[in-house]
Structure formats: C-alpha cells, structure tokens
Amino acid sequence: AVMTLPALERLREAHPAARIALLTDVKLAELWQGHPAIDQVLTFAAGEGLWRVAGRLRAERFDLALVLPNSPRAALEVWLARIPQRLGYARPWRNWCLTRPVLDAPDAIAMRRRSAAEIRRLIRESPVPPRVVLPPSAHQVRHYLRLVAALGARPEPLPPRLRVTDTELAEARGRFQLEPATRWLALNPGAEYGAAKRWPVEHFAAVANAVGAWPGWGLVLVGGRGDIELAAGIAAALPPPGLFRNLAGRTSLRELCAVLQACRVVLTNDTGPMHVAAAVGTPVVVPFGSTSPDLTGPGCPGESRHALLRVEVPCAPCFRRACPIDLRCLRGISVARVLEAIRAAADRELSQLAAGQAGVTR
C-alpha cells in the first residue's frame, strides 16, 4: 500500500479537481486517513464476494478505474462495475477487462520465485555469482508511477509520505510512555509473508540486549497480533531494568504510524511496518533475505538514509515464503553489522536534526 503513495500524489498533482477514491482492504483503511491525495476511502473485507464489491463500485458511478494490483480479480471487479475507462498493466489473463492495458517498462524485472531444486543447484554450483545491478525502473514505486504517467502524471519518483498529526504523536507518546528525551529503537521481528523474510529472533534479542545497555536509549517492540509470541520471546530475553515497551498487538494502524515516528531508528524485516516507518520519516535498518531492496526497498528508490543489509549468496533473492535450506541469506547478516548500522543511522539523523534539515523531533 505505501509504495503506491508517490503515484497517487503525482496523480493528484496532475488532476487537482478530480474526485479520487481508493479501494483498500478494511484493515489498511486507517493508513489513508487525512491523506491529501485521496478524497474517499472505500473498503472491502476479507472474503467479501466479487459481485458485492463490484456492485458497490458501480453505485459510485466512477468515470475511470486505475487498477494498481496485477491480479485478475482487481481487473474483473472494475469490469463488472461497468466503469467506462479501465487502466492497468497488461496481463494476458485480464487484458479483456481493461480498456487501456499499459505495457511494462522494457527493462522491468519480474519477481520470480525460485524452486527448491533450483536453490539447491545454485548452492552446489558456488562460488557466488556477481550481483546483478537492476535498473531504476525495477522498483515498485517506479512501477506504479509508470502507470499514472499514462494518465498525464509526472513519472519522477518522490518518497512515500504518511502524515502524523501533532495530536496523534502526543497521544501516542503519552499512552505508551515514549518520553521525547529517550532515543527509542523500534524492533519489528515479524513478517506476515513468511519465515524467509524474518531475521532470526535470537538476533533481534541480541540487538535488544546491546542497545538496551546504551546510555539514553530505550526499546519498543512493535507488530501485529500475530507477532505477540515473537515479541514475548524477545522480551523474556531482556534483563531488567531498562527502558522497554512491548507494544506488539496493542496499537492501531494510526498509532503505529505515530509510534514509529517517535523512534530514532527502526530495526525491521522487509514488511509493511518497514514502509510505514520510512514514510513517516524514520530511518530503517533492514536485513533482506528472500526479497530484494532493489525491487521493494523502503522510501524513494536510491534513498541513502536507510540501511538495507544483505549478504551475497547464490540463491538470493528467491522470493520464497520459507527457505528450503538453511536461511543463509539472513543468518549471514551479523548482529555486529546491524548494531553498527543502527548507530550510524541514529548519528546521521541527529546531525541532520541539528542542522535543521529534518523537520521532525524524535
């Protein structure tokens, strides 16, 4: 969701008088609250029927549908809704649903999942091949920008931005006792996609123990309800006393935005909160495993304020949910390397704040 924000802002810039509505999963609706690019948020629930969603869209009498997902269902919904103009990326199985299929960029890169057999073969055929340098158009932010360019919007990238109000920030600080004088490190150990995106939980615990001993620092564990057990394991490994807040499963989406903005740095897997943290202006440190920062990294493509960590292994990125071997792509990223990246990100942010280059007080 967050990676669509630059495209939506460019669309609003190109069509300031248009009524722009967004259809999103109900669990993500809060993310768009108060966003200037969006006039109306429509939601669908998990398991809601195709005809029901299409009927609600039809009742709105839209002139044009911009189909951001590449799924057949997304295109079928707007076709059934009888929206006159339907624009989306061309795919053989759904082109008949679109009035304006848009071709991918000539140098676009598809995210292809490697088979377990291919991964084992690549491991046997070491040494590690040189890293392939992907073109700028490979990133998902640019992928969406190319789509809105077909509607007259500028394709130049800009960072995804989510706005947290002063009231939201103050309320989150008060409710969760996030004192402004403390340098808070947020830890997000989960990844709903699967274990192949999760840096080992014992590594998160080791980082928490180390940073908890740094003068002036505090720790915040974040995550959804599915991450409560992971967070509890890390919490149990921390020696008292210390500045520690376990917020896993306790925040709404808007509260999560505010909590992440209140932090100095966020250590996170490649998952939704990574994009949210970057979009509210907080630097992130991300161990990448089965996925590629060139394709789905946080912030604006090429942005230097985030630390995107990976090791060279022959099988990565594999885009699998679970590793069929030994998770060497993530286990090879050491605790010491992550600690160094956290310190560097915090120092860089502090120097920018002192110079007046960043407008957010953490």
The model's pLDDT over 280-297, given as tens digits with 9 standing for 90+, comes to 999 999 999 999 999 999
Burial of residue 14, with CB atoms counted within 10 A of its CB: 0-12 exposed, 13-18 middle, 19 or more buried: middle
Residue 102 corresponds to which tokens in the numbers above? 């848009």
Q: Is the dihedral of CA 96, 97, 102, 104 positive or negative?
A: negative
pLDDT at position 354 over 70: no
Environment class of residue 343 by beta-carbon count within 10 Å: exposed (0-12), middle (13-18) or buried (19+)?
A: middle
List CB contacts of 263: < 8 A, sequence separation 6 or more. Answer: 178, 184, 185, 186, 220, 277, 282, 362
Give the containing element (helix H, strand E) for 205.
Answer: helix 201-212
Domains belonging to the chain, first-starting first, are 2-102+115-149 (3.40.50.2000), 166-354 (3.40.50.2000)
Mean pLDDT of the chain: 92
Quick: pLDDT tens for 222-256. 999 999 999 999 999 887 767 899 999 999 999 99
The CA distance from 320 to 195, in Å, is 9
- Reported pTM: 0.93
CB 338 within 8 A of CB 287: yes
Place of tokens 């967070």: 231
Please tell me the distance from the alpha carbon of residue 275 to that of residue 265, in angstroms, as a whole number.
13
pLDDT band at 135 (very low <50, low <70, confident <90, very high): confident
Which residue's entry shows tokens 């008949």? 96
The residue behind tokens 């966020």 is 266
CA distance 134 to 144: 17
Contacts of 161 by beta carbon, 8 Å cutoff, 6+ apart: 5, 9, 279
Q: Is the dihedral of CA 6, 11, 12, 18 positive or negative?
A: negative
Reported as a single tens digit per residue, the pLDDT across 64-84 is: 999 999 999 999 999 999 999
Q: What is the pLDDT of residues 16-60, one digit of tens each?
A: 999 999 999 999 999 998 899 999 999 999 889 999 999 999 999
